[in-house]
Amino acid sequence: MLEKIVIEKLVHGGQGLGTLPNGQKIFVWNGLPGETVGVRVGRKKKDYAEGFAEEIITASKDRITPVDEAYLSTSPWQIMTFDAENSYKKEILTEAFTREGMEVPEFDFVSVGEPLHYRNKMEYSFWGDDDGLHLALYHRASHGKRIVMGSSIARSEIDDAANKVVAVLNSVGIRGGQLKTVIVRTNKEGDVVVALFVKDKNFPKIEQLDGLCNGLAVYYSNPKSPASIITEELYSYGDNKLHDTLAGLEIAYDVNSFFQVNLAIFEESLLAIKKAVKNQKNIIDMYAGVGTIGLAVGAQKLVEMDAGNIAMATYNAKTREIEIVHASTEEARKLITKDACVIFDPPRAGLHDKVIDRLLEVQPVKIVYLSCNSATQARDIAKLQGTYKIASLTGYNFFPRTPHIESLAILQKSV
């Protein structure tokens, strides 16, 4: 049975928000603001429900036909025009800050290039049936898996390589239960590296994988963890390093490095950060990854906790006089001093309270905060209100056809 509702707005997670006849709020995939839809209700919680719009009774003028059949698995905002997507993302970003009681200055929402075939990295799961192995992605409406041949937001080199890996695995009789995920990455030149994560510590050495791409590694990954974490490298072929040039800086990274997936738009934000920190003498990049931002803007210190990223950052720094600190941001917070210009590009969880406390204690001259989660970014900046003000805010569409938003806030001291 379908429930008839009106979609009120799009929310931070990407779903449409509506109200069921019983008054309960429901988060709906495949619904756009203003549409009347027939919803199949899925999971029910105490305060809300989740569902999928199976019938579009009254369609929005912004609705278009998605490119991917499995768009709910690949990129669920394929259902709207690109102009509408950018407009909705700007609204969601604004709401993230106003919900925290802040007024934001007028800001631009920047989009660069085409909304498809931009991702330089994809992670696929696997599905096994009587026909063999297939690539798969999780289906947002059902929380199960959906068989795919690829994704329209991925570079073609990625899907070509992923499907070649599947073909080889099928040819030697590998079964789905032995596998966890495959991560494929490519650079601007089209070089490709692959990481195959397996749940079988005795996974066989498959020589047919050699030469399939520029580099390929097979990792045993603890089956008790759903994440693609490296427990042990079993074997590898070729060179697993990739190289790209960003804002005039040559950067090396590997398939497992923290590195942006949409380089064209990332370069735009990198230039904005470079401008924001101009003439600063003590620049600290507190989530350095492989060093991209810090090295590009001439930072004096890089802080990173992942050993693999540290190795790449050290390689990328070459002969530069720069201090590279192997520690978490919380552990390295004492590096933040009054004369510092601090750059943050944290994971989705945002900043640790200990880091916030340190900022309020020493009050560095400037804070540059790039975020992939506007909700936690706004939460963190709200805690700094009174001591800091937002000098500028910019939204970036790093992830077209998905609900994800990137935002750059430049904070200056209020007095």
Q: Is the pLDDT score of 143 beyond 90?
A: no
Question: In this predicted structure, what is the pLDDT of residue 257?
Answer: 94
Query: pLDDT, tens digit, for every residue of 284-336?
Result: 999 999 999 999 999 999 999 999 999 999 999 988 889 999 999 999 999 99
Examine the domain organization and report whether 313 and 399 are in the same domain: yes
Q: Which domain holds residue 11?
A: 3-63
Examine the domain organization and report whether 27 and 106 are in the same domain: no
CATH no. for residue 204? Answer: 2.40.50.1070
Question: In this predicted structure, what is the pLDDT of residue 150?
Answer: 96
Residue 272 lies in a domain: yes
Residue 408 lies in a domain: yes
Q: Is the pLDDT score of 115 beyond 80?
A: yes
Token pair listed for 116: 């498809």
The torsion angle over the Cα atoms of residues 337, 338, 339 and 344, rounded to 10 degrees, is 60
Question: In this predicted structure, what is the pLDDT of residue 113?
Answer: 84
The torsion angle over the Cα atoms of residues 376, 380, 381 and 386, rounded to 10 degrees, is 150
Question: In this predicted structure, what is the pLDDT of residue 345?
Answer: 98
CA–CA separation, 94 and 103 (whole Å): 9
Question: In this predicted structure, what is the pLDDT of residue 144?
Answer: 86
Query: pLDDT, tens digit, for every residue of 323-351?
Result: 999 999 999 999 999 999 999 999 999 99
Residue 76 lies in a domain: no
Examine the domain organization and report whether 238 and 333 are in the same domain: no
If you average pLDDT over residues 100-120, what whole number do you get?
Answer: 94
If you average pLDDT over residues 140-160, what whole number do you get?
Answer: 93
Examine the domain organization and report whether 225 and 293 are in the same domain: no
CA–CA separation, 53 and 64 (whole Å): 15
The single residue listed with the structure tokens 């427990």 is 231
Examine the domain organization and report whether 101 and 167 are in the same domain: no
Model pTM score: 0.94
* pLDDT confidence tier of residue 238, bands split at 50, 70 and 90: very high
Per cent of the chain over pLDDT 90 is: 94
Examine the domain organization and report whether 108 and 148 are in the same domain: no
CA–CA separation, 4 and 6 (whole Å): 7
CATH no. for residue 269? Answer: 3.40.50.150
Examine the domain organization and report whether 34 and 51 are in the same domain: yes
Residue 267 lies in a domain: yes
- Say how many domains are in the chain: 3
CATH no. for residue 41? Answer: 2.40.50.140
Q: For residue 401, which phi and psi values (nearest 5 degrees)?
A: 70, 10
Examine the domain organization and report whether 229 and 276 are in the same domain: no
Closest CA to 316 of 336, 333, 299: 299
Q: Is the pLDDT score of 72 beyond 80?
A: yes
Residue 252 lies in a domain: no
Examine the domain organization and report whether 36 and 168 are in the same domain: no
Q: Is the pLDDT score of 271 beyond 80?
A: yes
Examine the domain organization and report whether 186 and 311 are in the same domain: no
Question: In this predicted structure, what is the pLDDT of residue 58?
Answer: 98
Token pair listed for 22: 């019983």
Question: In this predicted structure, what is the pLDDT of residue 269?
Answer: 97
Examine the domain organization and report whether 264 and 408 are in the same domain: yes
Closest CA to 330 of 287, 381, 385, 366: 287
Mean pLDDT over each residue of the chain, to the nearest integer? 96
Q: Is the pLDDT score of 141 beyond 90?
A: no
Residue 72 lies in a domain: no
* pLDDT confidence tier of residue 415, bands split at 50, 70 and 90: confident
Examine the domain organization and report whether 168 and 212 are in the same domain: yes
Residue 74 lies in a domain: no
By CB atoms closer than 10 A (0-12, 13-18, 19+), residue 318 is exposed
* pLDDT confidence tier of residue 140, bands split at 50, 70 and 90: confident
Residue 409 lies in a domain: yes
